[in-house]
Amino acid sequence: MGMFSLSAMLVAALIAIAIMSLFGDNALFMSGLLQGAWLTVQITLLGSLLAVIMATTAALFRLYGAPPLRWLAVTYVEFFRGTSALVQLFWLFFVLPLFGISMDPFSVGVLGLGLNIGAYGAEVVRGAVQGVHRGQWEATTALNMTRWQALKRIILPQAFVAMIPPWGNLFIELLKSTALVSLITMSDLTFRAKTINDTTMQTIPIFTLALLTYLVMSLTITIGMRWLERASLRGMVRGRGR
């Protein structure tokens, strides 16, 4: 789907939310939902940042680290990919305090989802780095670059472009996974929708507004990542033309 279609869908979703908010108590419902949506956005942004850091670190450890670091990276990736994100959140929230380590629900949400998505992202980073043509490595060797210099200046910038589309999918997956934090007492968008529905029993408008709000956030991520991909490709073309 092109940028125009995505933008049109985003505008249509915003218009639908605005129109629905004009009827009955929907404006009050939307006010509560927006408070939950703001918390969802915060968890998504911070969780995404943690995921990128963990994914890059794990991928580089797995590719170029010493054997203990490689083992650590493989263990991290396989553990978080092979277990349920919900159980991971429960373990961090309910089990860690038994060992004397307590965190507030917001920190648990960011840490749990960031680590989970980071494990999937590690494979994205590893695949993108390995996908860079071998000739690029040979060129850096001819220029007498260290491995870190080669990664920083040549390899990672090229791999970055290939990472953008799959990372966009992972960020959206993280956004949707934030609904799980409602089960550890956090008033995110899903929690707010359920609470308002339990009080008012206005099921159709409440969950429709929640659905459209998630769609708006998801489309915003998709459009942002598409723009970043195009900007990166233009930058590479200009760089090669110099």
- Does a structural domain hold residue 18? no
- Which amino acid is residue 19, in one-letter code? I
Confirm whether 181 is domain-assigned. yes
Q: Classify residue 17: in a domain, yes or no.
A: no
Question: What confidence category does residue 14 fall into, taking pLDDT thresholds of 50, 70 and 90?
Answer: very high
pLDDT tens for 43-88 read 999 999 999 999 999 999 998 888 999 999 999 999 999 999 999 9
Q: Is the residue at 58 inside a domain? A: yes
The pLDDT-based confidence of 240 (bands split at 50, 70, 90) is: low
CATH number reported for the structural domain that contains residue 100 in this entry? 1.10.3720.10
Specify the pLDDT at position 236: 59
In a domain, 179, yes or no: yes
Count Cα neighbours of 133 within 13 Å in the Cβ-side half-sphere.
3
Dist CA 158 CA 151 (whole Å)? 10
pTM of the model: 0.89
Q: Which domain holds residue 154?
A: 39-237
What is the distance, to the nearest Å, from the Cα of residue 73 to the centroid of all Cα atoms in its chain? 20
What DSSP state is assigned to residue 132? S
Alpha carbon distance 37, 41 (integer Å): 6
What is the reported pLDDT for 95? 94
Do the domain assignments include residue 27?
no
Using CA of residue 57, residue 121, residue 42, residue 104, what is the dihedral sign? negative
For residue range 180-198, list pLDDT tens digits in order: 999 988 889 999 999 999 8
In the prediction, which pLDDT does 21 show?
86
User: If pLDDT is split at 50, 70 and 90, which confidence band does 130 have?
Assistant: confident
Q: Is residue 147 part of a domain?
A: yes
Alpha helical stretches, state H, the chain: 3-20, 26-64, 67-82, 85-90, 105-130, 134-142, 147-150, 156-177, 189-200, 203-241
Please indicate, yes or no, if residue 13 is contained in any of the structural domains. Answer: no
* Number of independent structural domains in the chain: 1
Mean pLDDT of all residues in the chain? 89
Q: Inform me whether the pLDDT recorded for 242 exceeds 70.
A: no
